[in-house]
Structure 1
Amino acid sequence: MSFAALIEEEARLIILRTLADQPDNRLNSSLLRDDLANRWAINKQRDWVHLQLDWLAEMGAVKATRIETVVIAELTTRGLDHVERRTVIPGVKKPSPAAV
């Protein structure tokens, strides 16, 4: 697997986890981009984040709604099931077991 593919899988998991941490399971692409860059050192353009959100939407892990130049991402049940290790979405890094 290429390094770029590893970064994509990691970023997709981070996006799902970040959405799961929100009170309403939603966040916009600008804030997701900032989180990826500032907390996780995945410094990519917002268009790249949009591509990841589109991919996650195709997999049924998020609902992506475009509003002008921003995408609002909302976690779906399938996305939450991946974060909580009840299912696996190929192309998204598998979450580590929760610390005991």
Structure 2
Amino acid sequence: MSYLDVVAADCRLIMLKELAGQNDHQLNETILTKVLENFGHLKTRDYVRTQIRVLEGLNAVSVKEVGSVLVVKLLRAGLDHVERRAFLEGVGRPSVEG
């Protein structure tokens, strides 16, 4: 696995964990970009959108376009990954501590 693959997997895990922490399990791409920045990943909007679409392809999230913004909602497969019940290829593994 290359360095870029490791970074992408970490970004995807961070997004899933943040969505899991929301009462309604959803956030928009702007907030997810800020969350990644807080974890040391300064990424472009296009990069974040690409990672969101990868997660959508894994059936971890659903995506709704509202105007020019993507709204992302966590699905069962994404929650199962965060809670360590099942794992998604290409997404970092959550630590046992959470």
TM-score above 0.5, yes or no: yes
Runs (4+) of structure 1 exceeding 6 A deviation are none
How far does residue 80 in structure 1 lie from its aligned partner after superposition?
Answer: 0.2
Question: Does residue 76 of the first structure (1) align with residue 75 of the second (2)?
Answer: yes
Name the counterpart of 1:62: 61
Work out the CA distance in 1 between the residues paired with 2:64 and 2:7.
Answer: 24
Q: SS at 1:71's partner residue?
A: strand
SS of equivalent to 1:74: strand
Number of aligned residues: 98
The CA deviation at 1:60 is 0.3
Shift of 1:68: 2.4
Residue in structure 1 matched with residue 29 of structure 2 by the alignment = 29
Tell me the amino acid that sits aligned with residue 13 of structure 2: L
Separation (CA, whole Å) in 2 of partners of 1:87 and 1:98: 16
Q: What displacement does 1:2 show?
A: 1.2
**TM-score, L = length of structure 1:** 0.94
Partner of 2:11: 11
1:70 Cα shift? Answer: 1.0
Structure 1 unaligned regions, length at least 5:
none
- CA shift at 1:22, angstroms? 0.6
The whole-number CA distance in structure 2 between the counterparts of 1:79 and 1:68 is 25
Shift of 1:67: 1.8
Q: Give me the whole-angstrom Cα distance separating, in 2, the residues matched to 1:91 and 1:47.
A: 18
> C-alpha separation between the residues in 1 aligned to 2:95 and 2:31?
24
Q: Distance in 2 between matches of 1:63 and 1:72?
A: 8
Structure 2 residue runs without a partner (length 5+): none
User: How far apart, CA to CA, are the structure 2 residues paired with 1:88 and 1:35?
Assistant: 22
Q: Cα RMSD between the aligned structures?
A: 1.0
